[in-house]
Amino acid sequence: MPNNTSYNTAMTQKRVLIVPGHGGKDKGCISPCGRIVEADYVLEVGKRLADLVGKMEPPSLILGISRMTGDKPHKLSDRVKIAKDFNAHLVVCIHVDSSPAKSAKGQRVYHWPGNSRTERLARRISRCSPMDLDDGGSWVSASERGYPRVSNVLGAYSCDAILVELAFASHAGDVDKMLRGDAIDLLALGILPAILEYPSYG
Ligand SMILES: [Zn+2]
């Protein structure tokens, strides 16, 4: 006789792809003095997040990561293809921000306008934002405030997609926080609950 529990679990299983930004020659943003290299930093956070989810073995999630090394070059079109081949329900893009405005700091989580699941994810991640990186109201619709670069990324995927800008490489305080010994763990732990909850969002 079929086990109803496992049948239901299989029915609600979601495939989540972690996409650390950049890679190969594309290093992303680099902090003053080169202490943070975005492509390398987001890879470490992405791998830690994958580790944490893997250890928990949640039955309702199948998790993938778009790259495990720093030398694999990915254009946006490559990342979109990886997500498609993975049959992702959700893509979690991880980046580090940079701004000419020296005061810009903190974590931002972008969701797709009108998509309630991604808005919920963004709010959830913002609430878990670690290391005082959340400067308030940090979940942002990709269409707000004119972020064409973010809209281009999120709009390229044909599934749910969010983009987490962990902190600002251009802000000295954020860089110090990102270089703390526990920062990679804390940043991954900040994203983890939202991913675990995602299958329940329907
Ligand atoms: Zn980036």
Ligand 1 midpoint to CA 166 (Å): 10
Which of 5, 11, 17, 13 has the alpha carbon at shortest distance from 159? 17
Domain that includes residue 56, residue range? 14-201
Ligand 1 midpoint to CA 22 (Å): 6
What is the number of other CB atoms lying within 10 angstroms of the CB of residue 56?
13
Q: Is residue 9 part of a domain?
A: no
Looking at residue 21, which CATH number applies to its domain? 3.40.630.40
Ligand 1 midpoint to CA 38 (Å): 7
Cα separation, 195 vs 132, in Å, equals 21
Who surrounds ion ligand 1 at CB < 5 A? 21, 28, 95
Q: Is residue 7 part of a domain?
A: no
> pLDDT tens, 91-145?
999 999 999 988 888 888 999 888 999 999 998 988 777 666 555 446 666 666 5
Ligand 1 midpoint to CA 194 (Å): 21
Q: Is residue 1 part of a domain?
A: no
Q: Is residue 162 part of a domain?
A: yes
Ligand 1 midpoint to CA 122 (Å): 17
Q: Is residue 195 part of a domain?
A: yes
Cα separation, 177 vs 190, in Å, equals 14
Ligand 1 midpoint to CA 130 (Å): 19
**Helix, strand or coil, per DSSP, at residue 30:** strand
Q: What is the pLDDT of residue 83?
A: 96
Q: Is residue 110 part of a domain?
A: yes
Q: What is the pLDDT of residue 2?
A: 41
Ligand 1 midpoint to CA 136 (Å): 21
> pLDDT tens, 26-52?
999 999 889 999 999 999 999 999 999
Percentage with pLDDT > 70 across the chain: 86
Structure tokens at 6: 């496992």
Ligand 1 midpoint to CA 4 (Å): 43
What is the number of other CB atoms lying within 10 angstroms of the CB of residue 176?
12
Between strands 160-168 and 108-111, the pairing is antiparallel
Q: What is the pLDDT of residue 134?
A: 55
Cα separation, 147 vs 103, in Å, equals 18
Q: Is residue 52 part of a domain?
A: yes
Ligand 1 midpoint to CA 98 (Å): 8
Residue whose tokens read 């943070």: 36
Q: Is residue 82 part of a domain?
A: yes
Predicted TM-score (pTM) of the model is 0.90
Query: Into how many domains does the chain fold?
Result: 1
